[in-house]
Amino acid sequence: MSRDQKFFDMYSLVIGVLILIAVAIFVFSMKVSDLTQGVYTRDAAEYQASVTDRIRPVGQVYLAGEEHESSAPIVETPATPEPVATSMTGPQVYNAACNACHGAGIGGAPILGDGAQWTDRIAQGADTLNEHAVRGFSGSTGFMPPKGGRMDLSDAEIEAAVDYMVGQVQ
């Protein structure tokens, strides 16, 4: 058998298999269409309603001289939500804002719980500590930014954090 004959036989076999696959797909699609044809047809009221909804005009056109009654525009003012008071406790403020410096002693900040670093500061009084925490302080050991750099916190929250830190001194 020659090479040309082998090629022709193989080519014919591949074409035959492809034709069989195409016929099988055609028969399968005909069966599926027969089974699903009644599900959604053009004459169904549901289909007609969806078409009518899709092609309805967006507005109406009136020629000059024609009058049409228009409704007065309705202006709704959205209700202003009342601010929710989300007051944080001293430990929460410490963990959210103060821990960054007072946890590691950055910039001369006294470390939470270290009595030696807090003794001189506590001796100044609670009012002085609170004022330095709220308004900021620049001393020989470092710089305390106002409210620890968290201007979104209230004075009462900052003072609660100071009370918490002073309470942790041993």
Summarised one tens digit per residue, pLDDT across range 52-83 is: 888 988 877 778 877 776 666 777 777 777 66
Instruction: Please report the pLDDT score of residue 60 as a whole number.
Output: 76
Residue with tokens 């003072």: 159
Residue 3 inside a domain? The answer is: no
Q: Total structural domains in the chain? A: 1
- Residue pair 107/142 in contact (Cβ under 8 Å)? The answer is yes
Q: Structural domain of residue 95, as residue ranges?
A: 90-167
Q: Is 142 exposed, middle or buried (0-12, 13-18, 19+ CB in 10 A)?
A: middle
Q: What is the mean pLDDT of residues 82-89?
A: 70
Are 125 and 78 a contacting pair, CB within 8 Å?
A: no
Q: Pick from 126, 170, 124, 129: which is nearest to 148 by CA?
A: 129
Residue 134 has pLDDT above 90, yes or no: no
Residue 125 lies in a domain: yes
Taking the model in full, what pTM does it have?
Answer: 0.49
